[in-house]
Structure 1
Amino acid sequence: MARMPLAERRGQLTRAAIRAMTRDGVSRTTTRSIAAEAGVSLSVFHYCFDSKQALLESVLTTITDHYVAVVQEAIRPRATLRETVRAGLQAYWDHVAARPGEHMLTYELTQYALREPGFEQLARRQYELYCDTYAELLDRLGRQIEFELLVPVPVLARYLAAMTDGLTLHFLVLGDADATAGILDMIADHVAGLTKEH
Structure 2
Amino acid sequence: MDDLHREDFVPRISAAQRRSDFVNAAIEVIAAYGIDGATTRRIADQAQANLAMLHYCYDSKDDLFADVYEFVAGRYRDVIQDSDPHSTLADTARQLLRGAMEAYLESPSFAATTLELISWARRQHGDRGIAVYDQALESVRAALRGTSAEHPVEPETIDQIAYVIATLADGFAMNWLTYGDRSAATEQMETVVSVLDSWLAARVGSTPAGV
Q: Which category of TM-score, normalised to the shorter sequence, fits these structures?
A: 0.7 to 0.9
CA positional deviation for 1:32: 1.1
CA positional deviation for 1:114: 3.3
1:32-61 Cα distance to aligned partner (Å, 9 max, x none): 111122222322222322332332232232
| Cα distance in 2 for residues equivalent to 1:155 and 1:81 | 13
**Given the alignment of the two structures, is residue 150 of structure 1 paired with residue 154 of structure 2, yes or no?**
yes
Partner of 2:119: 111
Q: 1:102 aligns with which of 110, 113, 125?
A: 110
**Given the alignment of the two structures, is residue 186 of structure 1 paired with residue 198 of structure 2, yes or no?**
yes
CA positional deviation for 1:160: 4.6
| Cα distance in 2 for residues equivalent to 1:23 and 1:169 | 16
Unaligned runs of 5+ in 2: 1-10, 207-211
| Cα distance in 2 for residues equivalent to 1:35 and 1:174 | 27
Please tell me whether the aligned partners of residues 27 and 110 of structure 2 are also in contact (alpha carbons under 8 angstroms): yes
Partner of 1:126: 132
Q: 2:175 aligns with which of 171, 178, 192?
A: 171
CA positional deviation for 1:174: 6.2
Q: Determine helix, strand or coil for the equivalent of 1:149.
A: coil
| Cα distance in 2 for residues equivalent to 1:33 and 1:81 | 44
| Cα distance in 2 for residues equivalent to 1:167 and 1:183 | 12
1:33-52 aligned within 5 A: 33-52=42-61
| Cα distance in 1 for residues equivalent to 2:96 and 2:163 | 15
User: Aligned Cα RMSD in Å?
Assistant: 3.1
* Paired residue type of 1:2: R
Q: Determine helix, strand or coil for the equivalent of 1:74.
A: coil
Instruction: Mark the structure with the bigger radius of gyration.
Output: 2
* Identity rate, percent: 24
* Paired residue type of 2:86: P
| Cα distance in 1 for residues equivalent to 2:40 and 2:202 | 44
Please tell me whether the aligned partners of residues 144 and 158 of structure 2 are also in contact (alpha carbons under 8 angstroms): no
Pair 1:73–1:158, CA change in 2 (3 A): closer
Aligned length: 188
Unaligned runs of 5+ in 1: none
Query: Normalized against structure 2, the TM-score is what?
Result: 0.70
CA positional deviation for 1:77: 2.4
Q: 1:53 aligns with which of 41, 55, 62?
A: 62
Pair 1:124–1:48, CA change in 2 (3 A): farther
| Cα distance in 1 for residues equivalent to 2:24 and 2:202 | 36
| Cα distance in 1 for residues equivalent to 2:28 and 2:134 | 24
| Cα distance in 2 for residues equivalent to 1:107 and 1:129 | 14
Pair 1:75–1:160, CA change in 2 (3 A): farther
Pair 1:84–1:191, CA change in 2 (3 A): farther
* Paired residue type of 2:194: G
